[in-house]
Amino acid sequence: MEIQAMELSQTVSKPSHVHAQRRRLVQRVGISILFLSLLVAIFFLFLIVIFIAIRGAGVINWEFLTAMPRKSMTEGGIFPAILGTFYLALGAVICALPIGILSAIYLNEYAGDSLVLRIIKMGINNLAGVPSIVFGLFGLAIFVKFFGFGVSILSGSLTLAIMILPVIISTTVEALKSIPDSFREAGYGVGATKWQIIKGIILPAALPGILTGTILGIGRAAGETAPILFTAATFFSRRLPHSVMDEVLALPYHIYALMTEGTHPAQQVPIAYGTALVLLILVLGLDLIAIVIRTRARRRKLW
């Protein structure tokens, strides 16, 4: 406000070309600040990726990806952690996907718009912002202790499933919302019931959006440490898991364990960076798949 007032008084008192010069200067400074902020942001993002890549690339080879850890994690590979993360993410999606999609359909297509429902929707969106360690504690109390699943793939998957549910629900709702009402109208016009319209027209059209949300959810589940800390992950295992009741190694937790436990930091730290690089590639790869699906669907979409 003050600057505006100053500028205004100058337009009255100073010749117009001075004023024009000043405006140009302000504009140039403004744009520079915006651009510099962007540079700082990009710099750190790239720095992380490059830093991890340089530190981690040295240890990655075929054996690292396919072998068991040896000599209390100072040698060998991280195969059980890769497999464990795969199991946990898969389990989480199997649990969260049907519930997430079905509740999103109910919310968007059937629920209407009462105060209670608006609170529910707000609650779901806020659930996505709950710190993941809180989900971890909840998983410990409910799945590990109360249901007695113990520290296991099952407990970890269920905990992760609850964590990614809000992501799946809100992206599915968005995908359903983006389908124009004219399709619904056309469906009624040929005598379809509401469910027939949803099943035969709306869901297929919304599928790319739903898929995108699901993959982002998998990425989130694969990358989190805190929810599996008390519910599924273990520091060391002699064998690969045989059932969903077994505890597992997982990539994010493996990094944590390598950096905080054990007695040979000189050998463990490089392995931790290698593990981080694998995890990074995995999560970025999943995000890339989601982006490809979304852009392809957008290009095909003609309504």
The footprint of another protein (CB under 8 A) covers 182-183, 185-193, 196, 200-201, 204-205, 300-303
Nearer to another protein, 49 or 297 (CB): 297
| Smallest separation, CB 187 to another protein (Å) | 8
CA distance 63 to 286: 23
Nearer to another protein, 147 or 183 (CB): 183
| Smallest separation, CB 202 to another protein (Å) | 10
Nearer to another protein, 207 or 269 (CB): 207
Nearer to another protein, 111 or 192 (CB): 192
Own/partner contacts of 108-111, CB < 8 Å, gap of 24 or more, are 108/172, 108/173, 108/176, 108/177, 109/176, 109/194, 109/198, 109/202, 110/194
Nearer to another protein, 28 or 194 (CB): 194
| Smallest separation, CB 210 to another protein (Å) | 15
| Smallest separation, CB 192 to another protein (Å) | 5
| Smallest separation, CB 294 to another protein (Å) | 16
| Smallest separation, CB 60 to another protein (Å) | 44
Nearer to another protein, 93 or 198 (CB): 198
Nearer to another protein, 116 or 302 (CB): 302
| Smallest separation, CB 178 to another protein (Å) | 12
Q: For 208, how many CA atoms within 13 A lie in the half-sphere containing its CB?
A: 15
